[in-house]
Amino acid sequence: MKMRLRNMRLKLVALALALITWFAVRGRTIEQSDWFECPVSLVLPADVIVQDEKALSVEIRIQGPIAKLADFRTTPTTLRIDARETVENALAGRPSATVSVEIARRHFRLPRRLDLATYDPKMISFQVERLEETVLPIEVTPFGTPADGYRIVAARAMPSTVTLALGAEEAKRITAVATSPVDVTGRTSTIEDKAYVIDPRGEGTARLDETVDVIVTIEPVVEQKPLSPVPIMVLQRPGARRRVNVDPDAVTVEVTGRADLIASLGPEAVAAYLVIDEALDPGVYTLPLVVVSKKPGIEIVKAPTVQVTIE
């Protein structure tokens, strides 16, 4: 029994020594990595931009302990180049220029215990542009649909413009800026609210550091419709003995109103009256009708006239 315990202790000690040796050797073993794609981060003058800077990258291989290599990932700070002086010289008196900069080992910042083995290319070229202030209109962005029978007739922002610093190529592409969406779903009246201004130079919904007042004017969809035949009622003073003939005895009446209200209207929605002035002598006259709507929200476009014979 004692021999078995002694053997077990010896085995545990041997295992511990083996683990310590493995970690020690692993930490000292230097290997070279496969190629990494390393983005290039450029330090530029404040009023300059690079076309397609995200496409700039360098392939690198590094060497170091296995464990450190396994954890390594490139970041925008791995390769950082101060190109301000080079860019200023290239842009002297010009709005844009092609710039080439040499990549040196000093530009790389690697974690401790990792070294740069090699990299390619050793020089990169890129196009730069001088930014200029451009005044752009602000376009309000409604989303959703107003209630049935209503529509958006205008959408505006106050202030209506914003000033951005753009390069020549950006200025060709960017002609306006949009606001964050304004919800008009189911609305029947004008909306007054605040909205963010979306930065057209960024990605997705990147915002500028400002808000604007927005007004989205919502009004009914108004349509015009003829109603026919509308019978004519003759109104005279009670007891009047004059005979009145109306030609025609029914007319067509044009009405206007919200599209959803007038869609199903028939001639019974209005009434047409001919009021006979008792001072009129017998004869033939062209007289206007009095037309009234029986439905709220419906208006008469124009009252027609008829030929009247008074005997």
User: What's residue 13's pLDDT?
Assistant: 59
For residue 222, pLDDT over 70 is answered with yes
- Evaluate whether residue 3 is within a structural domain: no
Query: Comparing C-alpha atoms, which of 229, 232, 231, 297 is closest to residue 263?
Result: 297
- Evaluate whether residue 182 is within a structural domain: yes
Confidence of residue 140 (pLDDT cuts 50, 70, 90): very high
Confidence of residue 4 (pLDDT cuts 50, 70, 90): low
Same domain, 47 and 80: yes
Q: What is the pLDDT of residues 272-296, one digit of tens each?
A: 999 888 788 889 999 899 999 999 9
Average pLDDT of the residues of the chain:
87
User: What's residue 158's pLDDT?
Assistant: 95
Q: What is the pLDDT of residues 29-77, one digit of tens each?
A: 779 989 999 999 999 998 898 888 888 999 999 999 988 898 999 998 9
**293: its two tokens:** 């709507």
* pLDDT average, residue stretch 252-271: 90
User: What's residue 15's pLDDT?
Assistant: 65
For residue 24, pLDDT over 70 is answered with no
User: What's residue 169's pLDDT?
Assistant: 76
SS3 state of residue 102? strand
User: What's residue 57's pLDDT?
Assistant: 94
* Domain span holding position 246: 222-310
Of 127-136, 186-195, 240-249, minimum mean pLDDT range: 240-249
- Evaluate whether residue 279 is within a structural domain: yes
Q: How far apart are CA 19 and CA 25, in angstroms?
A: 10
Q: 198, 220, 242 — which closes off a domain?
A: 220
- Evaluate whether residue 185 is within a structural domain: yes
Same domain, 209 and 248: no
Q: 190, 205, 220 — which closes off a domain?
A: 220
User: What's residue 208's pLDDT?
Assistant: 82
Confidence of residue 214 (pLDDT cuts 50, 70, 90): very high
User: What's residue 6's pLDDT?
Assistant: 55
Confidence of residue 192 (pLDDT cuts 50, 70, 90): very high
Q: How far apart are CA 253 and CA 270, in angstroms?
A: 8
- Return the CA Rg of the chain: 42
- Evaluate whether residue 15 is within a structural domain: no
Of 92-96, 173-177, 227-231, minimum mean pLDDT range: 92-96
- Evaluate whether residue 84 is within a structural domain: yes
The percent of residues in the chain predicted with pLDDT above 90, rounded, is 53
Same domain, 110 and 142: no
Query: Comparing C-alpha atoms, which of 272, 193, 257 is closest to residue 221?
Result: 257
Residue 115 β-bridge partners: 63
CATH of the domain at 120: 2.170.120.30
Same domain, 117 and 139: no
Same domain, 98 and 174: no
Instruction: State CA 157 to chain mean position distance.
Output: 14
User: What's residue 266's pLDDT?
Assistant: 93
Q: 220, 246, 277 — which closes off a domain?
A: 220
Say how many domains are in the chain: 3
- Fill in the amino acid letter for 109: R
Of 27-31, 80-84, 149-153, 189-193, minimum mean pLDDT range: 27-31
Query: Is residue 72 within 8 Å of 37, Cβ to Cβ?
Result: no
Same domain, 39 and 121: yes
User: What's residue 21's pLDDT?
Assistant: 56
- Evaluate whether residue 1 is within a structural domain: no
Q: What is the pLDDT of residues 157-167, one digit of tens each?
A: 999 999 988 88
**25: its two tokens:** 């050797």
- Evaluate whether residue 23 is within a structural domain: no
* pLDDT average, residue stretch 196-202: 86
Query: Is residue 83 within 8 Å of 99, Cβ to Cβ?
Result: yes
CATH of the domain at 178: 2.170.120.40
Same domain, 188 and 256: no
Same domain, 126 and 150: no
